[in-house]
DNA sequence: TTCTATATTTTGAGTTGTCAAAACAGAACT
DNA sequence: AGTTCTGTTTTGACAACTCAAAATATAGAA
């Protein structure tokens, strides 16, 4: 029962769906299906097979949840993915905006040997270029609870630490505005009517972004 | 009709089978099947599909040959494979004996972007760690006609330039005996009755190897 | 030429992963 | 309770790839 890349993709999608969900909640089929990019019926079939193998707990018509075995496996897939991203940026000199797709492919074929080599070369990094935490080899992950630009205090110096979206054009936008992880800024105004957030970047520039975008930029008070 | 990794493996196997064969000859099904590692019938089925797509010419009961389109594609697979091997050795510090398996997997998923990045980082190398020539991005390959330890002149200083076997234990053996590409030696005796070749390495050591092994070590008179 | 050995092809079947569309369950709304 | 909406599951089918074993072709030996 060696997990195919298909299986790995389902587990990874579940892992990420669960983390943006209250504890104990089940991930509904439809959500999983769209996350993986398959028709709903396909997800049902696959999930039943995963449940057979003990990787998930499945309640028909309700949803799925990773078992502990499934969680561990998913964490290892995520570890590979994020180490690869970090490697592509740090060693290969690629842009943080373009490494996601490559990592998506590579994560299913790199050997343990290679992963650990990358990890060592990078000095055992704890986060990837987007600030996402990298699980350890035994499947543990630091799960920090960041504020976002939507929830952080106003008029306070904060530092971008993580960006929870992999869309290349969004990432390029952030880069251009000096909003990559590590950069400082202050939130000046939130206007819920206008659905916008106005901020001043470290470079002193005022920019306004939508709340959707703002919620994807996580920060730490600095 | 994007070629799957399965297709790529058939093409690569054909490419390599053809190069150790007289020109114009067809590769017999059985040989292809064992090279790819499938049952004979499977190869037949696949080859018929490849012929459909114009990647090979197929004569039933006789054999297969790559078309020009197939040759080009195979060369690109080989390019990826060999650049990856070189990368794993030069950049990742892995042993030349252990990179083949990793490259075998990676060759099917690395993006063009990534391949060209590796190529640039390595300074556009012309050979991989085993001395195998790396095809260019447009599918051309230098096809030098080396001597082997079986055909080179005796008592003449020669330099190992290429090793045509990927078996890890054989490669480790060569490494230990200072027979990696680049090292010098002289062939002292060939004994066809004993099926052996005796040589003196650059380090002055006398060693004797079988003719099977000797034929896989290609050299240049230095 | 006939027989035989060997290689190749066919056939029938299985696996994995997928979809479209029909059938169905559960919750919410009269 | 009955109806409707939405999401889920079932069903039947298909594509890619594979195998084992039966059928067949080719070439060489008798």
Q: What is the pLDDT of residue A14?
A: 97
Q: Which of B88, B98, B106 sits opposite A109 (nearest CB)?
A: B106
Note whether B111 contacts A117, CB cutoff 8 Å.
no
Mutation for testing the B interface, residue in A101, A107, A109 having most B CBs under 10 Å: A109
d(CA B129, CA B122): 12
**Position B1 confidence tier, pLDDT thresholds 50, 70, 90:** low
Q: What is the predicted pLDDT for the residue at B22?
A: 74
Distances B72 to A18, B12, B32, B109 between C-alpha atoms, Å: 45, 10, 18, 18
Number of alpha carbons in the 13 Å side-chain half-sphere of residue A218 = 13
Q: In order of start, what are the domains of chain B with their CATH numbers?
A: 5-66 (1.10.10.10), 147-221 (2.30.30.90)
Residue A18: beta bridge partners?
none
Helix intervals (H) in chain A: 5-19, 29-36, 40-52, 68-90, 99-106, 112-121, 168-176, 211-214
Whose C1' is closest to the CA of B34: which nucleotide? C7
pLDDT at A70: 96
How confident is the model at residue B215, as a pLDDT? 87
Q: pLDDT tens for residues A151-194?
A: 888 998 999 989 988 898 998 999 889 999 989 999 998 988 88
Can you tell me the mean pLDDT for A84-90? Answer: 97
Contacts of A42 (CB under 8 A, 6+ apart): A33
Report d(CA B84, CA A160) in Å as an integer: 35
Q: pLDDT at position B139, please?
A: 86
pLDDT in tens, A182-208: 899 999 989 888 888 999 998 888 999
Q: How open is the CA angle B213-B215-B218, to the nearest 5 degrees?
A: 110
Q: In 3D, which of A59, A12, A62, A19 has the Cα closest to residue A37?
A: A12
CA distance A130 to A74: 19
Question: Which nucleotides in chain D lie less than 7 Å from some protein C-beta?
Answer: 7-12, 16-22, 25-26
Q: Write phi, then psi, for A165 (nearest 5 degrees).
A: -155, 140
Q: Which residues touch strand C (CB under 7 A)?
A: A 4, 6-7, 36-42, 45-46, 49, 61; B 28-31, 33, 40-41, 43-45, 47-48, 58, 60-61, 63
Closest residue to D26 measured CA to C1′: B61
What is the mean pLDDT of the segment spanning B138-156?
A: 84
Q: What is the pLDDT of residues A26-53, one digit of tens each?
A: 999 999 999 999 999 999 999 999 999 9
Asked whether the predicted pLDDT for residue B192 surpasses 70, the reply is: yes
The per-residue DSSP string of B65-117 comes to EE-HHHHHHHHHHHHHHHHHHHHHHHTT---TTTHHHHHHHHTTT--HHHHHH
CA distance A102 to A108: 11
Instruction: List, for residues A91-146, the tens digit of each pLDDT value.
Output: 999 999 999 999 999 999 999 999 999 999 999 999 999 999 999 999 888 877 78
List, for residues B160-190, the tens digit of each pLDDT value.
889 888 888 998 898 888 889 889 998 888 8
User: Chain A partners of B101 at a C-beta cutoff of 8 Å?
Assistant: 111
- The pLDDT value given to residue B82: 97
Q: pLDDT of A65-77, one tens digit each?
A: 999 999 999 999 9
Q: Would you give the distance in Å from CA A22 to the centre of its chain? A: 17
Q: Which of A19, A169, A161, A33 lies closest to A100 in space, CA to CA?
A: A169
In whole angstroms, what is the distance from residue B175 CA to residue A84 CA?
30
Select the residue from B87, B100, B106, B122 to test the A interface by mutation, using most A Cβ atoms within 10 A: B106
What whole-number distance in Å separates Cα of residue B27 and Cα of residue B16? 10
Query: What pLDDT was estimated at residue A1?
Result: 63
DSSP B37-50: TS-HHHHHHHHHHH
What is the predicted pLDDT for the residue at A21? 79
**Lowest-pLDDT choice from B10-24, B95-109, B122-136:** B10-24
The token pair at B120 is 């640039």
Q: Which two tokens stand for residue B142?
A: 């230098």
The torsion region of residue B120 among left (phi > 0), alpha (psi -120 to 50) and beta comes to alpha
Which of the four pLDDT bands, split at 50, 70 and 90, describes residue B204? confident
Residue partners of B130: CB distance under 8 A and separation at least 6? B85, B96, B162, B163, B164, B166, B171, B181
Closest residue of A to B100, CA-based? A111
CA distances from B96 to A59, A92, B81, B91, B115 (A): 49, 21, 13, 12, 19
Which chain B residue's Cα is nearest to A111? B102
Token pair for residue B66?
């790559």
């Amino acid at each position: 029962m060696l997990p195919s890349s298909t299986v790995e993709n389902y587990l990874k999608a579940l892992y990420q769906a669960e983390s943006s969900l209250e504890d104990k909640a089940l991930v509904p089929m439809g959500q999983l299906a769209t996350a993986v990019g398959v028709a709903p019926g396909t997800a049902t079939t696959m999930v039943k097979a995963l449940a057979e193998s003990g990787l998930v707990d499945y309640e028909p018509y309700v949803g799925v949840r990773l078992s502990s075995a499934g969680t561990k496996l998913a964490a290892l897939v995520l570890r590979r993915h994020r180490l690869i991203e970090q490697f592509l940026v740090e060693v290969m000199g690629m842009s943080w905006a373009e490494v996601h797709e490559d990592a998506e492919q590579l994560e299913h074929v790199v050997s343990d040997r290679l992963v650990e080599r990358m990890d060592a070369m990078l000095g055992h990094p704890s986060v990837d270029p987007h600030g996402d935490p990298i699980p350890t080899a035994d499947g543990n992950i630091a799960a920090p609870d960041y504020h976002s630009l939507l929830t952080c205090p106003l008029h306070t110096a904060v530092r971008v630490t993580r960006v929870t979206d992999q869309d290349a054009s969004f990432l390029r936008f952030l880069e251009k505005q000096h909003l990559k992880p590590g950069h400082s800024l202050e939130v000046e105004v939130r206007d819920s009517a206008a659905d916008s957030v106005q901020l001043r970047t470290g470079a002193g520039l005022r920019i306004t972004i939508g709340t959707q975008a703002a919620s994807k930029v996580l920060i730490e008070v600095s």
